[in-house]
Amino acid sequence: MTPQIEISGVDKHYGAYHALKDINLTIPKGRFVALVGPSGCGKSTLLRSIAGLETISSGTMRIAGESMAGVPPRRRDVAMVFQSYALYPHMTVLGNLTYSLRFKQVAKAEARRRADEVASTIGLTQLLHRYPRELSGGQRQRVAMGRAIIREPKAFLFDEPLSNLDAALRVHMRMEIRALHDRLNATSVYVTHDQIEAMTMADHVVVMRDGRIEQQGEPLELYDRPANRFVAGFIGSPAMNFVEGTVEPDGASVRLGLPGGPVLPLGRRAEPGRPVTVGLRPEHLRVDPAGAQMRLTVRAVESTGSMTYTTTESEPELMLVAQGRGGLGPGDAAPLCIDPGNIHLFDRETGLTL
Amino acid sequence: MRRIVSSLVDGRGFDILLVGVTMLFLLVMAGLPLVYNVLMSFQQVDMFTLGAWVRPWAGWDNYRAVLSQPEFPLVMRNTAVFVFGSIAGQFVLGFAFALFFMLRFPFAATIRGLFLVSWVMPGLVVGAIWSWMLAGDYGVVNAILSGMGLVDRPLFWKSDPGLSIWAVTVANIWLGLAFNMLLLSVGLAAIPRDLYEAAELDGAGAAQRFATITLPMMRSTIGAVLALGLIYTLQQFDLFPAITEGGPANSSNVAQYWAWQWSFQVFDFAKGATVSVMMLAFVLVAAAAYVWSTRSEVRG
């Protein structure tokens, strides 16, 4: 089956600035793909290139099998939900929803019928005759979604659509967008800087940095098997702890650059004497007086009631997170251990996973 | 006493003071001459009663006299041609230039700034330059037109009664072009870029984006520009003495120049005042339109 969106070898230059570097991405129909990365990583540029709002410098881009070279945005049949929503301020909600239908020679009655249908899908029926300035942030967001849905496009493109909403609404809309995607059997590309949004909404997460795809795959695959130190640090919250270390001469354990020089068994072979960066996720570090592998002084304890976040005084400091309250306080020596299967090793020079 | 002092200090009394000073200034510098002018249009004024407030009451006599002047219809027609010709020319060209400068090319902002030269030049200087360019026998405009083969003999812009009002109108279009362009550029720049992107993705072509996004979003700016254009065009005086002096045979005479002629060439101050009061009534309508259009601005 032809993929809905097929991007291969795409580069984008702005003068001397290399914004996209050899991007390869295949999106089958019905897939929800999240592009995630820090600001300036090229995720929005990639999305806008799919929309045709940016012209790619080289490479090929296909939507539903057709090459998009030289095809202007209005002929690509993709819909975009903007961060600012970009609602037409001089039109009512109804006018905003039916704007695209004007250019498809859809009869007025038919346009109205479709607008009513979309409005009831996303709960805008009562607001059809309001202007955008009379709507709340969440309602505007829905109008922006409705404007995309009514077109029944080949793909939905989302450019950080939730970043202007408050936290509670954001969590709610997250689920709603995903449910809508499933109901419409749509193909969606979703740009966000929030890895939690990416992890919870998407089938396929693409982590980008400096115009390059660092890794792509299923959300949990990225969490369990990050390809490099950057992805490991980016996916997961709170972020992974990184500690310099050296593989012991036996090749089966690693010595950490922490007070007391603790040695952790790896449960696998590694090149003896190799300098590495060791990645330890905060949720994998356990407090266990019996099986302690290292003892580090606690600097601070923060509790949200259900979770406890503990920071150690060591250099570099370690963060650990556990359910419940925990019995540690500042100044205590925390007995810590970690399962060999949860230890990540990265090359100290290249950052690649070993 | 302390209450008065504190009310001055805490702002409320001070507000009243600020409002008072401004109102006083407006009353003395604008209100009084205006009222005096209106009053004069209902009085008999001659050289001996120039300095007086109280003069013989004339009722509507001055208005009847002005309306029955043989040149009145011609002056009104010329005023209409001048005003609507100028506004249409300034607006259409100004909008075209504003759209052109929205394209991002090197030095766009600098070149746009240079256009303001026409606006900062004194009207008399502009008039003198255009008078020179439009000269029938040696003017550059005729040289260009005949060089392009558009005319076979020189056009006498300033002395042909059929052309003279257009000579002043062309100069005025040039004079007001930059102002229109600037205001319209500000309006264009205020339209968020992503609206155009959204419209483009929604399937709108360039002409459709202009009709469905640009024009409606510019409504209040366009209203303001047209209203201000009307006001400035009715104020335009310098070009007339510099180019045609209203002639030949009043063929380029307009209301504002006519009012000046009544007062300062014929020394019939009552009729001069009458003509200007008639203009005032018309400008008030434009001012009301201006206020209305800036009040109902669309805000996203």
Query: In angstroms, what separates the C-alpha of B218 from chain A's closest C-alpha?
Result: 10
pLDDT bin (cut points 50, 70, 90) of residue B9 is low
User: In this complex, do B197 and A90 lie within 8 Å of one another by their Cβ atoms?
Assistant: no
With a pLDDT cut of 90, the percent of chain A lying above it is 71
pLDDT in tens, A56-67: 999 999 999 899
Spans of all domains in chain B: 69-295
User: In this complex, do B300 and A99 lie within 8 Å of one another by their Cβ atoms?
Assistant: no
pLDDT bin (cut points 50, 70, 90) of residue A177 is very high
pLDDT bin (cut points 50, 70, 90) of residue A205 is very high
pLDDT of B11 reads: 64
How far apart CA A173 and CA A176 sit, in angstroms, is: 5
User: In this complex, do B300 and A104 lie within 8 Å of one another by their Cβ atoms?
Assistant: no
Closest chain A residue to the Cα of B217, Cα to Cα:
A90
User: In this complex, do A103 and B202 lie within 8 Å of one another by their Cβ atoms?
Assistant: yes
pLDDT at B121 > cutoff 90: no
User: In this complex, do A151 and B194 lie within 8 Å of one another by their Cβ atoms?
Assistant: no
In the CATH scheme, what is the code of domain B69-295? 1.10.3720.10
Say whether residue A68 is in contact with chain B using an 8 A CB cutoff. no
Segment B233-248 mean pLDDT: 87
- Region of poorest pLDDT, from A44-53, B97-106, B197-206, B285-294: B285-294
Say whether residue A88 is in contact with chain B using an 8 A CB cutoff. yes
What part of A 33-52 touches B (C-beta under 8 Å)?
Answer: 51-52
Q: Which domains does chain A have, with CATH numbers?
A: 5-226 (3.40.50.300), 241-329+337-347 (no CATH)
pLDDT bin (cut points 50, 70, 90) of residue B10 is low
Q: b/e per residue, B189-203, with b = 16+ CB within 10 A?
A: eebeebbbbbbbbbb
**Three-class DSSP category at A353:** strand
Complex ipTM value: 0.85
Q: Across chain B, what does the average pLDDT equal?
A: 87
Pairing assessment for the beta strands A253-256 and A241-247 based on DSSP bridges: antiparallel
pLDDT of B102 reads: 87
CB-nearest partner of A90 from B192, B208, B217: B217
CB-nearest partner of A132 from B201, B205, B300: B300
Across the A/B interface, how many CB contacts are shorter than 8 Å? 67
pLDDT at B290 > cutoff 80: no
pLDDT at B300 > cutoff 50: no
Query: In angstroms, what separates the C-alpha of A204 from chain B's closest C-alpha?
Result: 25
Closest chain A residue to the Cα of B216, Cα to Cα:
A90
Segment B141-161 mean pLDDT: 86
pLDDT of B48 reads: 78
User: In this complex, do A88 and B299 lie within 8 Å of one another by their Cβ atoms?
Assistant: no
CB-nearest partner of B204 from A74, A78, A151: A74
Chain A residues in contact with B212 (beta carbon < 8 A): 88, 99, 102
Say whether residue A15 is in contact with chain B using an 8 A CB cutoff. no
pLDDT in tens, A270-306: 889 899 999 999 999 999 888 888 899 999 999 998 9
DSSP assignments along chain B, one per residue:
-HHHHHHHHSSHHHHHHHHHHHHHHHIIIIIHHHHHHHHHTTB---TTSTT-S---B-TTHHHHHHHT-TTHHHHHHHHHHHHHHHHHHHHHHHHHHHHHHHS--TTHHHHHHHTTHHHHS-HHHHHHHHHHHT-TTT-HHHHHHHHTTS-SS---TTT-TTTHHHHHHHHHHHHHHHHHHHHHHHHHHTS-HHHHHHHHHTT--HHHHIIIIIHHHTHHHHHHHHHHHHHHHHH--THHHHHTTT-STTTT--HHHHHHHHHHTS--HHHHHHHHHHHHHHHHHHHHHHHHHHHT----
Query: In angstroms, what separates the C-alpha of B130 from chain A's closest C-alpha?
Result: 42
User: In this complex, do B194 and A89 lie within 8 Å of one another by their Cβ atoms?
Assistant: no
Say whether residue A82 is in contact with chain B using an 8 A CB cutoff. yes
CB-nearest partner of A86 from B198, B204, B219: B198
User: In this complex, do B192 and A84 lie within 8 Å of one another by their Cβ atoms?
Assistant: yes
